[in-house]
Chain A
């Protein structure tokens, strides 16, 4: 087999489309780095995407999301679906690197040709996190994975953005997490389509279940879509309990949004968001480039405290002319 480094974009895409793992992995790497996305790549992918159900799974750290996803994969595979997972790491702010721990819980599916797991580190992406997630959705959709699962921890603006791009939002909690649930409010907690109380094998699970039920009935949570009645389910990912019910609810939600037209609306809104984020990326990238190139001048301005505002306008103007020169064909 010829070396991958010698392929052009079209050959790479052809291989990826025929199910070659390495080629798919490479395409995802291209998308992961917003500074290097080849222009035609997104077009080629998006032309073939728009069919898959994107399932966002979010919730407090350690609630069992990855373990639950692994069980869910088994259930979805039994029903003939191809499943892709984008596992976004809640990386620690302390070190520059990241230990991406989600895959470990799903590794039993590694050699299943109908399952593709990709871990994404928020490190080094600098705000490009949601962009990477959105472009990866287009890729997996184009490659024929009809169920795309995104795992995130539900905090931070980019994670909320990512969840809003999903067709079906699942919020996972665990017994005794009342305070954490409060903390998540105003984030993604409120917009779940399906709420899952995992670790129902634990003692305190009844109390938390009643708390959640109350919040749901009161209308504090479950506000994503007025035509869908949000559900509350109990699972034990460890024991494998409640998984089929979860898969059924996911499927019911799919049928529902297909009927109401919300399915395609979501595809449109996630792509418009992708364009906005790409534009932002383009600006940021060029601001940094121009800024780096103007260091001497900016230092002089700073030293003399003269024309500071005008200098910043000059940066912006140069960014605009740089972008003006971009080849858009």
Chain B
């Protein structure tokens, strides 16, 4: 390293994506812009993404957090696929969060399959940014390769 003890302020990178056949993109766009305004580098991959597309983008961009938005009702099915995909590539240390119209009774199941946080309609943008920043920080601290 050039000078390991002297590193600059961290810039975290987040992926925001819509998973599955679901055209409700308002929430995802609101989140993408909000996270940018809170200082994140944000990559938005648009609607109708497959787990494979999201995972490829996350790995190529080396993001710190993956944020998924689902308002179609099929969150459990899609998130299971996404988490399996990440695990099979040894990439399940990348924290995943989800937001959208998710019934409260599903929150526990989502957490059980490894989703770090579930955000429901009406969630405050500041709290979302705070949680995402904590998760990003925690992930970077575990890496020896990125300050």
Contacts and interface: CB of A to CB of B under 8 A. Distances in A.
B90 A22 contact: yes
Interface in B6-32: 6-9, 11, 13, 32
A4 B143 contact: yes
B35 interface: yes
Interface of B: 1-4, 6-9, 11, 13, 32-33, 35-46, 49-50, 52-53, 56-57, 59-62, 89-91, 93, 142-147
A111 B85 CA distance: 13
Nearest to B63: A25
A36 B62 contact: no
Contacts of B91: 22
B7 A22 contact: no
Interface stretch (A55-63, A102-110, A197-205, A247-255): A102-110
Interface stretch (A72-80, A119-127, A305-313): A119-127
Contacts of A28: 62
Interface residues of A, number: 49
A21 B8 contact: no
B144 A111 contact: no
Nearest to B4: A36
Given A6-B144, A30-B145, A97 B36 contact: yes
Contacts, number: 136
A301 interface: no
A1 B49 CA distance: 26
Given A34-B2, A111-B50, 16 more contacts: A3-B93, A21-B56, A25-B59, A35-B2, A35-B8, A36-B4, A36-B7, A36-B146, A38-B1, A96-B39, A99-B33, A110-B52, A110-B56, A111-B52, A119-B41, A126-B8
Contacts of B2: 34-37, 39, 281-282, 285
A95 B90 CA distance: 34
A12 B91 CA distance: 14
A39 B13 CA distance: 24
B89 A1 contact: yes
B57 to A, nearest CB: 5
Interface string A2-18: 11111100001000000
A24 interface: yes
Contact of A97 (B4, B38, B62): B38
A102 to B, nearest CB: 9
Contact of A5 (B1, B50, B89, B143): B143
B11 A121 contact: yes
Interface string A35-70: 111110000000000000000000000000000000
Given A22-B89, A95-B36, A99-B36, A35 B145 contact: no
A39 B142 CA distance: 22
21 contacts: A3-B90, A5-B143, A5-B144, A21-B56, A22-B90, A25-B61, A29-B145, A34-B2, A35-B6, A35-B7, A35-B147, A37-B2, A97-B35, A97-B38, A99-B44, A101-B44, A103-B43, A104-B45, A116-B60, A121-B13, A281-B2
